[in-house]
Structure 1
Amino acid sequence: MKNEFDFIAIEGVIGVGKTSLAKLLTERNNARLVLEQFEENPFLPKFYKDRERYAFPTQMSFLASRFQQQQEMLSKDLFQQMTISDYIFEKDRIFARLNLEDDELALYDTIFKIMAGISAQPDLVIYLQSNVDRLMQNIKERDRDYERDISRSYLKELSDAYNHFFHHYNKSPLMIINTSEIDFVSNEKHLDYIEEQIFNQPIRGNTHIHITD
């Protein structure tokens, strides 16, 4: 029996392919696409050069942008048609806990808790995992100017933080896909399998997807 979702969110560490998968699934299912507007954050390039100095303004800029998107999604009643996004609102706090000082995090949390209570909640979250070597390779290949200063150690920290977050995540059904050895962009069979698991298999609680040729 085919699953019906109003809102699917795809998550994962920088470079894991969440935007690529969101776009591919959107095209295949005639869905609405909502993408994180990270390129509009004026502090992001500065953050990758000086993490300590620019962490707070970078985080607050992302929080404001993501919340505005959430409100637009709800006010425009996008869910009359299936919506696929490349992030969940709660992910913002993963970065906050990793990058902010205690006093900054306390102020951030005060604002975040208000916003999180009135943000859109996905019917399914797809968490893409990958090893750090593959993440570094993907980031190098796409060669975005502001990502050239991302360090391996920061990616490792971020990957560990994501794994911890989703190990405890229970707000919606969760599908976990390890992408270290697959290529759903170039290999249509891999994409077909992922789509089959999303839309034609029962999803309850946490589901782990493993793909082999």
Structure 2
Amino acid sequence: MENQFEFIAIEGVIGAGKTSLAKLLTERHNARLVLEQFKDNPFLPKFYEDRERYAFPTQMSFLASRFKQQQDMLSKDLFRQLTISDYIFEKDRIFARLNLEDDELALYDSIFEIMTGISAKPDLVIYLQSSVDRLMENIRQRDRNYERNISPSYLRELSEAYNHFFYHYNKSPLMIINTSEIDFISNEKHLDYIEEQIFEQPIRNNTHIHIIPDQL
């Protein structure tokens, strides 16, 4: 299977399956895997308990961590031509706009604008879109302690912010996959179809893949 990319980024709301898909595609293509280091953020559990109080330190910790990873990605891997990541740097601002107060957002933006200009640019962005019910179910199944306080209303708010962001996204070719009714983790046919659309079809802007489970 011929590869036309050097860097693919997979995005989606919490629980959409972006990390799982990144890992599966990495295994199939011997790629370099770059995962968001959310476990290293000491403020994240506190954020889900008190969103207003801990939004700013949580956001700044993520910004610093993500930028460090972006710099590392700019260096070539001699043994792997393809890099697959489970986030894009620009998405950091989705959470910032959603959670920060005006003065905090102004300070954040002054730093973010410098960093985003020298971050790695994906050859393709894959946005995994999903219903809030499916997101909640996925979150319940993986049962991370600090995610137990995530509410459907917060996920709905976040989903709307993501949809708005990717509706206007034009920095890289974008592929949108609705994952509400599919299971690429357990169903290999679903994964095969996604892989085929990514690697065997010509690169295009704003490609929307709608997978019908009964037809696969």
TM-score bin, normalised by smaller chain = over 0.9
- 1:85-164 to 2 correspondences below 5 Å: 85-164=85-164
1:47 deviates by: 0.2
Unaligned runs of 5+ in 2: none
Partners of 1:196 and 1:69 lie apart in 2 by 28
1:72 deviates by: 1.2
**TM-score, normalised by the number of residues in structure 1:** 0.97
- 1:179-194 to 2 correspondences below 5 Å: 179-194=179-194
1:3 deviates by: 4.8
What secondary structure sits across from 2:89 in the alignment?
coil
CA deviation vs aligned residue, 1:107-145 (integer Å, no higher than 9, x gap): 000000000000000000000000000000000000000
CA deviation vs aligned residue, 1:130-170 (integer Å, no higher than 9, x gap): 00000000000000001001011100000000000000000
What secondary structure sits across from 1:84 in the alignment?
strand
Which residue in the other structure is 2:7 paired with? Answer: 7
1:2 deviates by: 4.1
Which residue in the other structure is 2:44 paired with? Answer: 44
- Range that drifts further, 1-10 or 58-67: 1-10
CA deviation vs aligned residue, 1:182-207 (integer Å, no higher than 9, x gap): 00000000000000000001121100
- Would you say 1:67 and 2:31 are equivalent positions? no
What secondary structure sits across from 1:90 in the alignment?
helix
Which residue in the other structure is 1:32 paired with? Answer: 32
Which residue in the other structure is 1:197 paired with? Answer: 197
When the two chains are superposed, the root-mean-square deviation of aligned CA atoms in Å is: 1.1
1:78 deviates by: 3.4
- The code of the aligned residue for 1:77 comes to K
Partners of 1:3 and 1:86 lie apart in 2 by 18
State percent identity of aligned pairs: 84
- The code of the aligned residue for 2:76 comes to D
Partners of 1:129 and 1:25 lie apart in 2 by 18
- The code of the aligned residue for 1:108 comes to Y
Partners of 1:154 and 1:20 lie apart in 2 by 22
Which residue in the other structure is 1:165 paired with? Answer: 165
Partners of 1:2 and 1:131 lie apart in 2 by 33
* 1:126–1:176 contact (8 Å) kept in structure 2: yes
* 1:3–1:202 contact (8 Å) kept in structure 2: no
Which residue in the other structure is 2:77 paired with? Answer: 78
